Amino acid sequence: MKNQFSFLILAIAVTSTILGGCNSNSTSSLPVSTSTSLSNPAAPSSPVAASPSPSSHSLPILAGELGIQVSVDLRANDGPVEDQFGGTCSAFGTAAAMDNYIHSQGTNKNVSEEYLWSLYDQYSIDDAVQAATQNYVEEESDWPVDGRALASVKGSSSFKITQSTDLQYDLNAALQAINLGHALVMAIQVPASMDNCDDMVDPTSAYTSGQHVIEAAGYQLDDSVAGGGYFIIKNSWGPQCGMSGYQYYPFALCQRSDLYCYFIQLDGIAQKTN
């Protein structure tokens, strides 16, 4: 069982909160710690409310009406699977989506989760996205996840989010965004099956009381899976979890009244050469 944390998470909205904390399989503590634009399709930013609205997250998945492909897999644009330290999932989930976007634009660099975390250190999804919007995030090669980097370190380049869209609990909007090539920052409540690192998370699995932030790196529509398909998620519990760090997360989990799925789309990232 991953360690449970009891910190307050500010759900991706400044005015709302989610109780609980990032699930993690690591107990290590955090060490003290003029731009070129990369453009992709689309639109503004905002953040996760305290409880999901069934009317906004239980709509049927109708590929034909949505005009989306049956399957989209963006894992080829991902950076390496990481093992988060402590309750820092908001930094790891946000950095994963940033890496995917950066790679999709032909730039082979990854941002540092540790550097991003050092900018806000608040166990907050909203603060993670805001920190990466208000500040340039250094490269992982200069700020690796091992405590070696110092605050004075500046790499050859750094990145910041220039635009993002708060999709809230809208499954259909999330699928449409992924269909257009956007990996998403995804906030969830953790089912026990996910906590056990099952490849396909059991859609009937009980809620563990933990909360987590991950990257949605694709989807598969499949009527044989509860809810009509599943998201391909990149976790931050190391490559030993699931399928080399990835798991399948059925749509039905997002449609349950006792759980939520919340999505943020990254629409633009700027690169600065230091």
pLDDT tens digits, 5-64: 222 222 333 223 332 357 665 433 222 223 333 433 232 233 333 334 444 444 556 667
- DSSP classification of residue 187: E
Beta strands in 20-156 (DSSP E): 35-39, 71-73, 137-138
Q: Per-residue confidence at 1, pLDDT binned at 50, 70, 90?
A: very low
Domains present along the chain, CATH in parentheses? 8-273 (3.90.70.10)
What are 143-150's contacts with CB under 8 Å, separation 24+?
143/112, 143/114, 143/115, 144/112, 144/114, 145/82, 145/83, 145/84, 145/85, 145/112, 145/113, 145/114, 147/31, 147/114, 149/112, 149/114, 149/115
CB 108 within 8 A of CB 69: no
pLDDT at 90: 96
Minimum mean pLDDT range among 27-36, 153-162, 234-243, 244-253: 27-36
Q: Per-residue confidence at 153, pLDDT binned at 50, 70, 90?
A: low
Q: Which residue has the tokens 């990854």?
A: 110
Length of the chain: 274
CB 132 within 8 A of CB 162: no
Q: What is the pLDDT of residues 67-109, one digit of tens each?
A: 899 999 999 999 999 999 889 999 999 999 999 999 999 999 9
Q: Per-residue confidence at 194, pLDDT binned at 50, 70, 90?
A: very high
| Burial (0-12, 13-18, 19+ Cβ within 10 Å), 30 | middle
What percentage of the chain has pLDDT greater than the value 70? 74
d(CA 120, CA 238): 23
The residue among 225 and 141 whose pLDDT is bigger is 225
